[in-house]
Amino acid sequence: MAERFLNYIGGQWVPARSGRTFPNHNPATGETLGEFPASGPEDVDAAVTAASRAYEGWRLTPAPKRAEIVYRAGEIIRAKKEDLARAMTREMGKVLIETRGDVQEGIDMAYLAAGEGRRMFGVTTPSEMPNKWAMSVRTPIGVCGFITPWNFPFAIPSWKIMPALVAGNTCVFKPAGDTPESAWWFEKIFEEAGLPPGVLNIVFGSGREVGDPMVVHPGIAVISFTGSTEVGNAIGGKAGALGKRVSLEMGGKNAIIVMDDADLALATEAIVWSAFGTTGQRCTAASRVLAHAKVHDELVERVSKLAASWKVGDGLDPSVQMGPSVSKGQLETVQRYVGIGKGEGKLVTGGQALTAGAHAKGFFHQPTVFADVKEDARVAVEEIFGPVLSVVKVRDLAHAVAVNNASPYGLSSSIFTRDVNRAFTAMRDLDTGIVYVNHGTTGAETHLPFGGNRGTGNGHREAGHTMLDPFTEWRSIYVDFSGKLQRAQIDNS
């Protein structure tokens, strides 16, 4: 019988009020991994109530003390790293070296966010009046709601929740339905670290039954969402109309530019890793290559040969390089776009779902490469979120930059060149939140801001020195010790 997991509300592990559950499956084997609460609006309301009650005490807990709990959670994550990685591979599918990296991001973020407990810098500035002090400080906002995706089920909650906690907010957390166990572990770790009851609450369930009620709940002041642009924009509209703070991290259609002077061996390795790592299920995945006409054919041959050599299978097998799609629906999306791509470019390698033998019970697809794709083709413009790469021929750097920037998304971009002038031109002109030189489009580090432009986000950034921005307000404070009324903005000359 599958293990039954519970919500965590107000310091108690409780079932959904309805008593309903949903199964969690291994996308490589079809195995049922557990049953999770199929929660509803009443569970959301209970979690918000618990978070609201806990807020005053947590807000008044000194920031260094709040940070110590986050740091302690990082230490627990470090001790459990391998168990967490294996659990994540079982429910999400990506290979163990990647899930270890996902967990490591949680560790890194815990340490980085904990440091803010003894910084959380404000600003002091001279007053225009004599004997008057002027300064600004960060303050928490209240109850924050987090809606997170399945592709990085430990790292992304860490980027969001850890800074919010250090800043003094309380939290309601709705993880993706495809990866609930990773989120359950996240909550268990903070319980073990000594987080007070009600400060972090987790409610499992669907977007319709849990996510939507969170977005419109009057007790939630901040919504932080990572997922598709379509859903994110809908959330932004609903939450923004209610005056909530909204932080959106959404889609990507990331390009690697390869110039005619590039190291093609290095570029090939980076392209294949960026395109097919995590089965292409990253918002930063390279789903298009903008190849200079002089190297297009050779690059396609190199990339296709390496992609075809990749072993596809269960991510728990250390010899496997690419795991399954996370679900049947995601695999069907990949197959649909492969069909579209066959009419838009030349299929060079892949193109088939894997359904026999060891692949029979999972959602597997071959790494797939299309060449001679037009820059405005659907497979070169629309987000696929699967192991499909389109190679577009470009004339020069200016053409490549124009193609890159024409995308409705603006998360990550990359250029391979040995020319420092081209590199700096690309760094200046590529209109994405992240730019790499001589590297693929994946591999962001926690101590730099993460996020994108246009359809990728709404201006907020996660991690790095901007981590506190979505979860704090600025308060300006003036202390007048002159002993008399001094009137600012009045001409006293």
- pTM of the predicted protein model: 0.96
What residues act catalytically?
Answer: 249, 283
Please state the φ and ψ torsions of residue 360, each to the nearest 5 degrees.
-65, -30
Neighbours of 244 (CB within 10 A): 21
CB distance 354 to 334 below 8 Å = no
- pLDDT reported for residue 490: 74
Domains (range + CATH), the chain:
7-250+457-476 (3.40.605.10), 254-437 (3.40.309.10)
Residue 449, CB half-sphere, CA atoms under 13 Å: how many?
Answer: 17
Q: What percent of the chain has pLDDT over 70?
A: 99
- Classified as helix, coil or strand, 139 is strand
Calculate mean pLDDT across residues 347-360. 97
Q: Give the integer Cα–Cα distance in Å for 341 and 344.
A: 5
Are the CB atoms for 46 and 32 separated by under 8 Å? no
291, 391 contact by CB (below 8 A): yes
Cβ-contact 204, 7 below 8 angstroms: yes
Q: What is the pLDDT of residue 252?
A: 96
Where does the pLDDT of residue 1 fall: very low under 50, low under 70, confident under 90, or very high at 90 and above?
confident
pLDDT of residue 492: 60
Distance CA 244, CA 239 (A): 5
HSE at residue 50, side-chain half, CA atoms within 13 A, is 25
Phi then psi for residue 381, to 5 deg, are -120, -40
Distance in angstroms (rounded) separating the CA atoms of residues 238 and 215: 7
DSSP string of 390-457, one letter each residue: EEEEESSHHHHHHHHHTSSEESEEEEE-S-HHHHHHHHHH--SSEEEESS-S----TTS-B--EETTB
Determine contact, residues 400/411, Cβ cutoff 8 Å: no
489 band by pLDDT with thresholds 50, 70 and 90:
confident
- What is the spatial distance between Cα 420 and Cα 399, in angstroms, rounded to a whole number? 18
C-alpha dihedral, 459 to 333 to 273 to 108, nearest 10°: 50
- Amino acid letter, 379: V
Instruction: Say whether pLDDT at 300 is over 60.
Output: yes
Select from 191, 163, 183, 160 the least CA-distant residue to 72: 191
Three-state SS sequence of 239-280 = HHHCCCEEEEECCCCEEEEECCCCCHHHHHHHHHHHHHHHHH
Alpha-carbon torsion 198, 202, 205, 210, what sign? positive
Cα–Cα distance measured from residue 107 to residue 116, given in angstroms and rounded to the nearest whole number? 15
| Whether residue 347 has pLDDT greater than 80 | yes
Kindly state the average pLDDT of the residues 429-440: 98
Q: What percent of the chain has pLDDT over 90?
A: 98
CA–CA distance, 66 with 450 (Å, rounded to integer): 24
Residue owning tokens 């490589």: 28
Which residues are within 8 A (CB) of 230 and not within 5 positions of it... i.e. 6 or more apart?
none
Q: What is the arithmetic mean of pLDDT over 208-220?
A: 98
CA–CA separation, 174 and 157 (whole Å)? 10
Q: Determine the pLDDT at residue 493.
A: 57
Residue with tokens 């618990």: 50
Other Cβ atoms closer than 10 A to 1: 5
> What beta strand segments (E) does 229-386 contain?
245-249, 254-258, 286-292, 346-349, 353-354, 364-365, 368-371
For the chain, the average pLDDT equals 97
Look at residues 261, 269, 380, 386 and name the one whose alpha carbon lies nearest to residue 323: 386
pLDDT (tens digit per residue) in 379-424: 999 999 999 999 999 999 999 999 999 999 999 999 999 999 999 9
pLDDT at 2: 81
